[in-house]
Structure 1
Amino acid sequence: MDPANYSNVNRLYRVTAYVLRFINRLKDKSLNYCKFISAEEMNHTETLWVKTVQHETFPELFTPLRKQTKKPQLCQQLVLFLDEHGIIRCGGRIHNADMNFGIKFPVLLPTHSSFTSLIISSEHARSMHGGTQTTVTLIRQRYWIPKIRRVVKQATNKCVICRRVVGKPYADPIAAPLPGYRVQKSNPFEVTGVDFTGALHIKRDNRDTKVYICLFTCAATRAVHLELVPNT
């Protein structure tokens, strides 16, 4: 199963859970499952995918971590260790903090991976399409991704919903060429545009009268002629 073929990480977990159900039923036909995927199955598939991605990306880290031999530089920088499920986690200086185990010791994920991209997209959507810093904060509550800010910024720049909101406005269209009568020599008001404006109220014979202004514009010289038009 290739994570690149799935649009979000939850769909990947559900499909994996159904595949595992099928495999288990082939081994033991007496097993009965609920109609819906349980939280335990989702957690199991998440653990399975994390271990798979880590074995594919960091195969050289497992032997030193298991046998406590000379460790690579990455292990020393991030204080890596294996938890009870065989997952590589990062250490730190908050061991004694009153926090969840997953927050104190986040799971190590590769920078460039289809699975990592699904995790970033999921956390970005969970943050209601927040900015780079908000998405990074949510991811670091469970995972540690090297160069995380750069990969998160690349992922959020591809988000269609975010681009609709923060994208650049539409540029003004290129103006069309002026028609010939606007740029060729001609007599004043040979080509004329007519428009009205108003209404205006004037006093005539001690009575208020509504009138309009007729506006004549020369298309070549841009000269203007005004005429008063009564409301009749």
Structure 2
Amino acid sequence: MEIDENGVLRLKGRIKAAKDVVYLKSPAVLSGDSSIAKLIMKHYHERFNHGNHNTVMNEIRQKYYITSLRSKLRKIAHECQWCRINRSLPKMPSAEGDLPPERLRHHQPLHVYGVDYFGPMSVTIGRRHEEIRGAIHMPDNTRRTH
């Protein structure tokens, strides 16, 4: 770390030769508990539309190095009134549609279709022998009745 000409503590990086990179070369170091860091985090949280932590962290790290950034951003999002309202679970369950008539025919089992099971059958897979069982779907018009 080093102190620049304005008295700001900055991280020393190894990319000073990069010409098109401005802010990532030496970000300012701030304590996560300082009031200026909290204001910066809140500003970026609101500027990026209360987005996820990774997006906000990426944007903050373009200019600043804030200690314990992830946990501080979680705390800001937890205290944010907009996030609390819009990310909460609904109080009432959503209205569900009616059941189809096939599900309501409890007195006519297998009215629409049926399933028949068969097996076991011996099957060879490579050098291994296994026993398998099967199921057949039978449409309504081919199903036998007792």
TM-score, normalised on structure 2?
Answer: 0.57
Q: Which protein has greater RCO, CA pairs closer than 8 Å, 6+ apart?
A: 2
Instruction: List aligned pairs for 1:66-215, cutoff 5 A.
Output: 80-170=1-91
Larger radius of gyration: 1
Q: Which 4+ runs in 1 deviate beyond 6 A?
A: none
Q: Which runs of 5+ in 1 are unaligned?
A: 1-79, 173-232
SS at structure 2 position matched to 1:164: helix
Q: Which amino acid aligns with 2:24?
A: I
Q: Which amino acid aligns with 2:83?
A: C
SS at structure 2 position matched to 1:167: coil
Instruction: List aligned pairs for 1:39-50, cutoff 5 A.
Output: none
Aligned equivalents of 2:26, 2:8: Cα separation in 1: 11
- More helix by percentage: 1
Q: Give the direction of change, closer, same or farther, for the CA distance of 1:95–1:150 in structure 2 (3 Å limit).
A: same
Percent of residue pairs bearing the same amino acid type:
32
C-alpha deviation, 1:82, in angstroms: 1.1
SS at structure 2 position matched to 1:101: coil
RMSD of aligned alpha carbons: 1.7
Q: Give the direction of change, closer, same or farther, for the CA distance of 1:98–1:170 in structure 2 (3 Å limit).
A: farther
SS at structure 2 position matched to 1:104: coil
Instruction: List aligned pairs for 1:23-38, cutoff 5 A.
Output: none
